[in-house]
Structure 1
Amino acid sequence: MKSGSPATTANARSLRPETFDARIDDLWERYEECDLCAYDCGVDRTAGDVGTCQVDDTAYVSTYFPHFGEEDCLKGHNGSGTIFLANCNMKCVFCQNFETSHEAKGDPATPAEIAEMALELEAKGCHNINFVSPTHHSPHLVEAVRIAIEAGLDLPIVWNCGGYERPEILERLEGIVDIYMPDVKWGNDAAAARYSKAPNYWSNVTDSLREMHRQVGDLRLDDTGLATGGLLVRHLVMPNHVESAKRVLSFLAEEVSEKTFVDVMAQYRPHYKAKSEPFYEEISRPITAAEYEAVVDHAREAGLERLYLDRSMLL
C-alpha cells in the first residue's frame, strides 16, 4: 500500500519559462514519429500521415462548455470548463461519444484558439479546464496552456483520458497538469484488446497510474469541496466483467494509494457497435445491481477509502 501526495506540488503557473518551452518543443517534435500514446504508431503526422487516432498534426475541438455532468468536486456550482477534443487514442466499441471519438466531428483549432476557449470558460466562472481525450493532441494543449497562463488563466488543468498513456510522455506534463483523471477501463488485456482495441492495456495503464500519482499525489480538495490537484480515477463497471473491475480496484489500493479517489460508475449502456454487432454480445446489456454492488464491496474490502458512488443509473 502506498499513500500520500508529493512533498512539493509545482504547477504550470510556477514552471520556469525555459522548462515550459522545452516541453512544448519536445512534444511537437514527437508528431514526426508519433509516440504520444501507448500505441506508439511511429507515423509522421506532420506529413499528413495518421495513426490509430486517425488524425494528423491538426488538433480538432468538438465542443467546449461548462460541464455539469462531472463529479461534484469538478463541476462545483459553475461547471467544469470542458474542452472536448475530436478523435481518440482508443477505439472502444461501446463509446457513447463515437461521433466525436471515432468519426472525427470537430473543427480545427490552433493552440492560441484553444487558449481563448480556456479563458472564455474561466470568464464564465468554471472551476477548472478539463481536456477530454487529450493524449493525441498533447503538443497543442500544452502550448495552449502556456498561452492561456500568460494571458492570466488561473485554474487547475484536468487531463481527462482513457489511461492508455506512455509514462515518458506523462513526464513532459509534470507541473503542467494539476488533476489527472484517467478512465481506467480494463484489468484484463484480452477484454481491452477485444472491446477497446488497446493491446497491452494493463501494463500501460498501471505504469501510467504510478507516474500520475508520483506527480500529483492523492486528490486534494479546497474548503468548498473543489478539486485543486491530484489523481481522480474513474472506472466504468462493465457487464460480465466484475473480475476485471476487482483487479483495477485492488491495484489502486495496493500499488497506488488507499486514499485514491475512485468514481465507480454504474451508467454503462451498450452504444455504437456494442448495441448491434453480435460479436460483442457479452457487453450488449446494462450492468446489473448485483454486478455493481459486488464491485463496490470489493473496493471497500481492498481498503479504498474515497469512493464516489452513483446508483441512479442502475436498472
Structure 2
Amino acid sequence: MSKAAYLKMTTRELGEKVKRAVAMLEDCTVCAQACRVNRLKGELGICRGGRRAVVSSYGPHFGEEAPLVGARGSGTIFFAFCNLKCRFCQNCEISQHGEGEVVSTSDLAEMMLELQQGGCHNINLVSPSHFVPQILEALLVASALGLRVPLVYNTGGYDAPETLEILDGVVDIYMPDIKFGDDDAGRKYAGAAGYFTVAKKAVKLMHGQVGDLVVDGKGIAVRGLLVRHLVLPGDLSGTEKVVRFLAEDISKNTFLNIMAQYYPAHEAFEYPELNRRITGGEYREAVKIAERYDLSRVYR
C-alpha cells in the first residue's frame, strides 16, 4: 500500500489549506467558472453545489484504467453536479440532475476510510472540481483517523489555478479529461468559456506538481499525470491539437487514454453533429495521431 503525498504535511499545514479553500466559497472561485456566488450562505452557481458536498455513490471500481484498478479496485467517490454542462454527458442523472445525497464532513471522511479498509488502492475523487473545499475538510479528518492511500483527482479539466495550487502536496494522481482542443467547442458543447485555454494551463500545473505517471512493482499507479481524451464524432474533440499540446508542452511520456465509448446521450440529440456514435476509422485515426507525435504511453 503506497503512502500518500498529504501524509508529508503536518496537520497544521493541511488545516491551512482547508481554510484557504473554504474561504473561496464566500465569493466562489473554486473552479474556472468563477461564479462568485456566496455558497456559504446557500447561493448556487453554475455547478449548483452548495456548502456541503453531494455524493451520488461510492465503492470499489474495476472499470478504470489498469494502473488505478490493480487487483482490489479504485476507491471511487462519485460527486453529484458538475462545473461543466456537456451536452452529451453520459452520466447526466448525476452531473446535471444532481442525483445523490448531501453528506457531512464526517460522512465523506468515513467513505474514504471505508474504501481504504476494503483494500482499494486509492481514493478516486470523480468530478471533484466544485467540491474541493469539502474534500479537503474530509481529508483532514480522515488522515487523522488513519487514511494512507493516494488521492486521485478525476476531473473534467476545467480547474482554477488557485485551487490547483492549494492541492499541491495533497493530490498524488491527477486524471484530467481534455475534452476539446478548441475554445469555441468547449463553450458550445460544455458551457465552458475558454475551455482548452483553461485546461492547458491546468494540466501544466498538474504535471508540474506530480510529473509523469509512476507505477510500483505491481503496476499500480502511485503518483503522476494520467490524461483522458474522448473521441467525438467528426473530430469535434480536436484530437490533434490535444495530442500536440501533450507531446510538445507536457511530455511524450504522458499516459494518455484515448477513449472510444462515445454515444449520443443527454442533449446530444439536439445537435446533428453529435447525434451518432464514432466510427472505427475515427478512433483509429485518433490513435494514429498520438503515434505520429511519438506519445509512448497510449492506453486503449
TM-score category, normalised to shorter length: over 0.9
Q: Which runs of 5+ in 2 are unaligned?
A: none
Output the amino acid matched with 1:307.
V
What percent of counterpart residues are identical? 45
Query: Residue in 2 aligned with 1:304?
Result: 295
- Residue 179 (structure 2) pairs with residue 185 (structure 1): yes
Distance in 1 (CA, whole Å) between partners of 2:290 and 2:61 is: 28
Among 92, 105, 115, the alignment partner of 1:121 is 115
Q: Is the 8 A contact 1:242 1:295 kept in 2?
A: no
> Contact (CA 8 Å) 2:77, 2:126: kept in 1 or not?
yes
For 2:77, the equivalent position in structure 1 comes to 83
Task: Tell me how far apart the structure 2 counterparts of residues 291 and 146 of structure 1 sit (CA, whole Å).
Answer: 45
**Does the residue aligned with 1:172 lie in a helix, a strand or coil?**
helix
1:201 is matched with: 195
Q: What's 1:21 paired with?
A: 15
2:277 to 264, 275, 286: 286
Residues 113-158 of structure 1 show CA distances to partners (whole Å, capped at 9, x for unaligned) of: 1110011111111110000010111011012112111111111100
Paired residues of 2:40 and 2:51 also in contact (CA < 8 A): yes
For normalisation by structure 1, the TM-score amounts to 0.92
Describe the superposition over 1:274-314 as per-residue Cα deviations: whole angstroms up to 9, x where unpaired. Answer: 1x32xx110111111111111111111112110101xxxxx
- Alignment-mate amino acid for residue 216 of structure 1: V
Amino acid at match of 2:24: R
Asked if 2 retains the 8 angstrom alpha-carbon contact of 1:111 and 1:143, the reply is: yes
Cα displacement (A) at 1:18: 2.0
What is the rounded CA distance, in whole Å, between the counterparts of 1:251 and 1:112 in structure 2? 40
Residue 159 (structure 1) shift:
0.3
Q: What pairs up with 1:1-315 in 2 under 5 angstroms? A: 11-241=5-235, 244-274=238-268, 276-277=269-270, 280-309=271-300
> Does the residue aligned with 2:222 lie in a helix, a strand or coil?
strand
Are the counterparts in 1 of residues 30 and 163 from structure 2 also a CA contact under 8 Å?
Answer: yes
Asked whether the equivalents of residues 49 and 56 of structure 1 are also in contact (C-alpha less than 8 Å), the reply is yes
Q: Distance in 2 between matches of 1:201 and 1:243?
A: 12
Task: State the distance in 2 between where 1:250 and 1:200 align.
Answer: 18
The residue type paired with residue 255 of structure 2 is F
Residue 240 of structure 1: SS of its match in structure 2?
Answer: helix
Deviation at 1:17, TM superposition (A): 2.1
- Across the aligned residues of Structure 1 and Structure 2, the Cα RMSD in angstroms comes to 1.3
In structure 2, C-alpha distance between the alignment counterparts of 1:251 and 1:115, rounded to whole Å = 36
Residue 80 of structure 2 aligns with an amino acid whose one-letter code is A
SS of the equivalent of 1:186 reads coil
Gaps of 5+ in 1: 1-8, 310-315
Say whether the 8 Å CA contact 1:24–1:139 is kept in structure 2.
yes
SS of 1:206's partner is: helix
Q: 2:179, 2:237 within 8 Å by CA — same for their partners in 1?
A: no
CA contact (8 A) 1:81 1:122 kept: yes
Say if 1:262 and 1:308, in contact at 8 Å, map to a contact too: yes
Q: Could you tell me how far apart the structure 1 residues matched to 2:162 and 2:53 are?
A: 21
Give the C-alpha shift of residue 55 in structure 1.
2.1
2: CA distance, partners of 1:195 / 1:203? 15
User: What's the TM-score once normalised by structure 2's chain length?
Assistant: 0.97
Question: Aligned to 1:29, what secondary structure does the other structure show?
Answer: helix
Distance 1:233 1:289 in 2: 21
Separation (CA, whole Å) in 2 of partners of 1:223 and 1:213: 22
Structure-1 separation of matches of 2:166 and 2:93: 30
Q: Residue 304 of structure 1 aligns to which amino acid in structure 2? A: L
Q: Distance in 2 between matches of 1:197 and 1:97?
A: 16
Instruction: Tell me, in whole angstroms, the C-alpha distance in 2 between the residues paired with 1:55 and 1:298.
Output: 38
For these two proteins, the number of residue pairs brought into alignment is 298
